[in-house]
Amino acid sequence: MNKKAMISFASSAFALMLLLTGPASAADLRIGLSGEVTSLDPHLLASQPNLTVARHVFESLTDVDPQTKLIPGLAESWRALDALTWEFKLRRGVKFHDGSEFTAEDAVFSIARPLSIKGSPGGFASSVRAVESATAVDRHTLRVRTKYPYGALPEELNSILIVSRKHAQNAGPEDFDSGRAMVGTGPYRFVRYQRGDRLELARHDNWWGKTPPWTRVTLRVIPADPSRTAALLSGELDVIEHVPSADLKNIIKNNKLRVSQNTSWRTILLHLDQYRAQPPGVRGPDGKPLADHPFRALRVRRAMSMAINRNAIAERVMEGLAVPAANIVSPDVFGHNTALKPLPYDPEGAKRLLEEAGYPKGFRITLVGPNNRYINDQQILQTVAQLLTRVGIQTRVEAMPMSAFLGRVRKEETAVSLLGWGSFAADLALRSLVATPNPEKGYGAWNWGRYANPKVDTLMEQALASVDRGKREALAREANTLAMQDLAFIPLHHQVVSWAMRADLAYAPRTDEFTFAHHFLPGVR
């Protein structure tokens, strides 16, 4: 047997022992998370695993419901006073875990904090880039001035969690990991943190929201898929997120368990290098260099898109946990265009297009992507490689952990790369993934292929500048449609996320993939 299996056997045996010695109290909830948590500091790194744990303790001014619709959070309401000024009315009577009152000063401090952390791997800069200044008008009114008209500010402020100014002033990430600065307004307060293993939380009884049913919550970090499933089956956990697709069928059949699932906001896509004459790893079938900029030809991008059998990936690789994609954002999300349909699988058509584009014998590429970030990412890479190879694009696969992969991307060593992106709105997604890269404006930070289309840029800018949501959505949809018809990148699918839990629990599946203990409901047999 192998090591991993032995560990999972050992942990199942351990769970059995726990079960025999003393069952967990009915008001406890134990959740298995899939992603590595690198820090508890909510402003250090904008990664989903970190934010999942942080959002139990901290809240933001604007919140989103399970369908990613914007709803009030710590701010009860907001409006644009003019094109550059937003006013947020803050909720009254909100208490931090230490009993002190939440005021506009805490919000001002929290909005400024992400950019003040030295050596932060970041991810929050784009959320506060538009902010010129944030000021407290009175204890419960916050005014934010933007550098340019910016309609997406309420969405952006959802990413900024509000910390207590009293406790977080002069606090570094280590003070959050130790618990000293872990003082928020959220439904749970910090009890104990064991890095790489678990975070223990206790209910915040003075929370302004509806009192959650769980007095104690344990968030366990179990990235290994089979181990997470085993921990649920053995009763060591009550809930797991990201149910491994291979185990889904058996868990659905198991009448002691319940599964809740939904199309996530995350779109899985392939970026194609469009800026270098000779992208790395791209060669002719004989190993000689190709003509300049092979991926700039729309015919080549169309051929690659037509070579991909999205239904086969959804059914055979993802076990149904995928919706074939033709949009930059998934169906529930602001700016989605239902009229866009995925290019049908047509290997013969793809070969013809390649021939027309001047590659009758295809060419060679190296496909690079993560093996620990998205659902079945490593299998998707191999399947895409197999499908491309069938139409003559001989594909070599390199799969590696996300951190190593991002390092390769930053060094510009990849030409065809797999990425997953989730966003509240099509215009925000376009700004990161498709806009012509411009570091000063924060455009195209994740546009690895450096696709450039001035028409898309203009529409996206107009959308983001609109404080009228109806007008903004129409513009965002138009920009999305244009970019997708031009295959700025090759969309593969929208991920379907699933949670598995004890049969007496219920969870409203979230489009944004977040797992929140306080949203699980008990006693629903």
Partner 1 sequence: MSAMIAAPSPLREASASFVRDRIALAAMVLLCLLLTAALGASLLSPQNPYDLAQLDILDARLAPGSASSAGGTYWLGSDGQGRDLLSAILYGLRISLGVGILSTLVALALGLAIGLASARAGGWIDALVMRVVDLQLSFPSILVALILLAVAGQGVDRIIVALIVVQWAYYARTVRGAALVELKREYVDAAVCAGYGEARILFRHVLPNVLPPLIVVATVQVAHAIALEATLSFLGLGLPITEPSLGLLIANGYTYLLAGQYWISMFPGLALLLTIVAINLVGDRLRDVLNPRLQ
List residues near partner 1 by CB under 8 A: 2, 4-5, 225-226, 229-230, 233, 244, 246-247, 249-250, 309, 312-313, 316-317, 371, 378-379, 381-383, 385-387, 389-390, 394-399
Nearest residue (CB) to partner 1, 224 versus 474:
224
DSSP string computed for 370-422: ESSSSTTHHHHHHHHHHHHHHTTEEEEEEEE-HHHHHHHHHTT--SEEEEEEE
Nearest residue (CB) to partner 1, 244 versus 420:
244
> Radius of gyration of the chain from Cα atoms?
24
Strands 363-370 and 393-400, bridge-based pairing? parallel
Kindly state the tokens that stand for 54. 């942080």
Contact 396, 300 (CB under 8 A): no
Nearest residue (CB) to partner 1, 380 versus 425:
380
Q: CB burial class (10 A; 0-12, 13-18, 19+) of residue 327?
A: buried
Which one-letter amino acid corresponds to residue 457? D
Nearest residue (CB) to partner 1, 221 versus 381:
381
Kindly state the smallest distance separating residue 300's Cβ from partner 1, in Å.
Answer: 19
Nearest residue (CB) to partner 1, 229 versus 262:
229
Nearest residue (CB) to partner 1, 231 versus 456:
231
367 strand-pairing partners: 397, 416
Kindly state the smallest distance separating residue 397's Cβ from partner 1, in Å.
Answer: 5
Which one-letter amino acid corresponds to residue 174? E
Backbone angle region of 322, left / alpha / beta, with phi > 0 → left and psi within -120 to 50 → alpha: beta
Kindly state the smallest distance separating residue 306's Cβ from partner 1, in Å.
Answer: 16
Kindly state the smallest distance separating residue 392's Cβ from partner 1, in Å.
Answer: 9
Nearest residue (CB) to partner 1, 378 versus 436:
378
Kindly state the smallest distance separating residue 269's Cβ from partner 1, in Å.
Answer: 19
Kindly state the smallest distance separating residue 403's Cβ from partner 1, in Å.
Answer: 14
How far is 317 from 382, CA to CA, in rounded Å? 10
How far is 131 from 127, CA to CA, in rounded Å? 9
Contact 142, 108 (CB under 8 A): yes
How far is 290 from 363, CA to CA, in rounded Å? 8
Kindly state the smallest distance separating residue 146's Cβ from partner 1, in Å.
Answer: 46
How distant, in Å, are the alpha carbons of 178, 188, 190 from that of 175?
5, 18, 12
